Amino acid sequence: ETLEASKAEDKPIFVDCYTTWCGPCKWMTANIFTNNSVADYFNENYIAVKFDMEKGEGIELAKQFKIRAYPTLIFTDAKEEILFVSVGANQDPKSYIANAKQALNPEGNLPYYQANKDEIFDNPKKMFGYFKTMSSANMVSQSDVDAYFKQFPVKDWASESNWEIITMTVRDGNNEVFKTIVANDKIFIDKHGNEASDFMAN
């Protein structure tokens, strides 16, 4: 029914993937989707549905979309191509609208970044968009992170875009990127101060 409505109204689909035991899912339902600005934007631009991923059709959808955490918010077109994925519950209503807008952006959504990664791989600003999109979906590849930083001298890692990529994607203290940052900590502390010190300490 959702797919038919998507085709009939020429709108993409928004799926709230939840479980009954998920506290953040309940919080989001009570506090985000009741927000007028969020509700109005989603109702105007999407066919919005929600499924319990542990009951009925939700079980197969969880397998199809490879959902591993809750809440997971999926934006897809009528052909079930995923346009954007967001894992977790953000407390800022504006972030949900921003994600919904990004899903509709043919030069900023998940299919765009997946198709164009190789062409933009040496562009820090565009790769920040790529990694942010992949991070939102819990789809960051550590091999992508490693290969991306290997193409630049370490001093360039401290640029604003690259530092944002680092803080968003580097989570393993044994990772070579992190070890390189620690070995060259002065570069990052000079540029980013306590933020860099706290990042390395954490």
Q: Which residues are catalytic?
A: 22, 25
- Beta bridge partners, 52, equal 18
CB neighbours of 32 closer than 8 A, spacing ≥ 6? Answer: 38, 89, 93, 96
* Strand pairing report for 82-87 and 72-76: antiparallel
Q: How far apart are CA 41 and CA 19, in angstroms?
A: 24
How far apart (Å, rounded) are the C-alpha atoms in residues 102 and 130? 12
From the list 108, 122, 109, 117, the residue with the least C-alpha distance to 162 is 122
Beta 13-18 vs 47-52: how paired, if at all? parallel
CA distance 24 to 156: 38
Q: How far apart are CA 4 and CA 22, in angstroms?
A: 29
Q: Distance between CA atoms of 22 and 30, rounded to whole angstroms?
A: 13
